[in-house]
């Protein structure tokens, strides 16, 4: 719902007041849901992206996606599609990420998005709702998707935060991928959750019927996946991290794609961890590569 033109570059040192001369720039069509679609494509799968675009940056965004061969349905809006900036500081290896707010959507615009999703629902398949909601879109937007999905036998996967996440879970979803902080907030916990508390919090969400599956990515500490019957943990494969942009989206893409292909939950989870790590190995805003995912999957087997 809030796509962004991802601009990435590098400079020697990030410091205030001075002009920062940057190296070559890379431009990618970003935003949670579109990144998931791009990663699914990289892994040999097919999906349809639905997203609002507007203004000159929206036209550029459409061109970037078409160049990648992404199939999509665009809802035209009056506002200008946002941009995000990632700068690598060469002297330290640190990465700075600047995420702009995004345009305000009017009610007819976000309702048009709902309508298009309703027309395109993959009955018996998966709908991924990923990323922040732009200004003007109500917090209950993903909850509306949850109800539409439930009526049509579609498994809704949600990756968002804050009130939008809480509302979606109250409506009930198939799979949710919160951050560690968000997981604690969802169960009213204070402070950081240890390993056992992570499992207990995820099990509480499942037991309450808010989600059938809870997937938790923990950076270098690996990942956790919890259902009513299973608790799965995997370490993060050893790899040289170049950029964390898109790692969570690649994780989610591989998880949903493998489930849609009929793989077991354990196999899908292994592929997801491999894809998230593969994205972190790629530079700037590039997503996971199939060859890297296959190699890392073999290491996790």
Task: Choose, from 6, 28, 159, 249, the residue flagged as catalytic.
Answer: 249
Of 217, 107, 106, give the one whose Cα is nearest residue 159: 217
pTM: 0.93
pLDDT in tens, 71-108: 789 999 999 999 999 999 999 999 999 999 999 999 99
Q: Check if the beta carbon of residue 157 is closer than 8 Å to that of residue 211.
A: no
> Rounded to an integer, what distance in angstroms lies between the CA atom of residue 136 and that of residue 167?
16
Mean pLDDT of the chain: 94
Helices 247-260 and 32-42, interaxial angle, to 10°?
Answer: 60
The string of pLDDT tens digits covering residues 199-253 is 999 999 999 999 999 999 998 889 999 999 999 999 998 878 887 778 899 999 9
Please tell me the distance from the alpha carbon of residue 31 to that of residue 50, in angstroms, as a whole number.
Answer: 12
Edge-first strand order for the sheet with 82-89 is: 26-30, 4-11, 82-89, 95-99
Q: Give me the pLDDT at residue 301, please.
A: 79
265/86 Cα distance (integer angstroms): 33
Q: Please report which confidence band the pLDDT of residue 59 belongs to, taking 50, 70 and 90 as the band edges.
A: very high
Angle CA(158)–CA(247)–CA(65) in degrees, nearest 5? 80
CA proximity to 141, closest of 181, 101, 113, 100: 113
How far apart, in whole angstroms, are the C-alpha atoms of residue 298 and residue 301?
Answer: 5
Taking CA atoms, 35 is separated from 58, 131, 210, 221, in Å, by 16, 10, 25, 23
Residue range 4-14+22-300, CATH number: 3.40.1190.20
- In the numeric block, the tokens 């550029």 are attached to 60
Task: Map out the domains of the chain as residue ranges.
Answer: 4-14+22-300
For residue 199, give both structure tokens: 């499992």
> What's the pLDDT at 273?
96
pLDDT at 239: 79
C-alpha distances in angstroms, 264 versus 36, 126, 267? Answer: 20, 16, 5
Would you call 229 a catalytic residue per the annotation? no
């Amino acid at each position: 719902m809030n796509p962004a033109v991802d601009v990435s570059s590098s400079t020697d040192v990030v410091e205030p007041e001075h002009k920062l001369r940057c190296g070559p720039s890379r431009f990618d069509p970003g935003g949670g849901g579109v990144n998931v679609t791009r990663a699914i494509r990289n892994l040999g799968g097919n999906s349809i992206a639905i997203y609002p675009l507007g203004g000159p940056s929206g036209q550029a965004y459409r061109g970037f996606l078409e160049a990648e061969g992404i199939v999509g349905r665009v809802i035209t809006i009056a506002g200008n599609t946002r941009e995000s900036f990632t700068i690598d500081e060469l002297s330290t290896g640190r990465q700075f990420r600047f995420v702009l707010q995004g345009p305000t959507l009017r009610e007819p615009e976000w309702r048009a998005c709902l309508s298009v999703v309703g027309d395109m629902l993959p009955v018996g398949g998966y709908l991924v709702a990923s990323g922040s909601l732009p200004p003007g879109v109500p917090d209950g937007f993903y909850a509306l998707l949850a109800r539409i999905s439930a009526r049509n036998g579609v498994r809704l996967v949600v990756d968002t935060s804050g009130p939008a996440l809480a509302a979606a879970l109250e409506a009930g979803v198939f799979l949710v991928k919160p951050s560690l902080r968000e997981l604690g907030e969802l169960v009213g916990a204070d402070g950081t959750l240890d390993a056992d508390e992570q499992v207990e919090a995820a099990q509480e969400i499942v037991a309450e019927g808010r989600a059938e599956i809870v997937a938790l990515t923990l950076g270098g500490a690996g990942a956790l996946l919890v259902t009513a019957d299973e608790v799965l943990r995997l370490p993060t494969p050893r790899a040289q991290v170049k950029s964390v942009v898109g790692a969570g989206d690649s994780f989610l893409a591989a998880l949903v794609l493998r489930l849609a292909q009929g793989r077991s939950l354990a196999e899908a989870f292994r592929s997801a961890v491999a894809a998230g790590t593969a994205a972190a190995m790629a530079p700037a805003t590039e997503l996971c590569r199939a060859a890297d995912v296959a190699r890392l999957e073999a290491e996790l087997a």
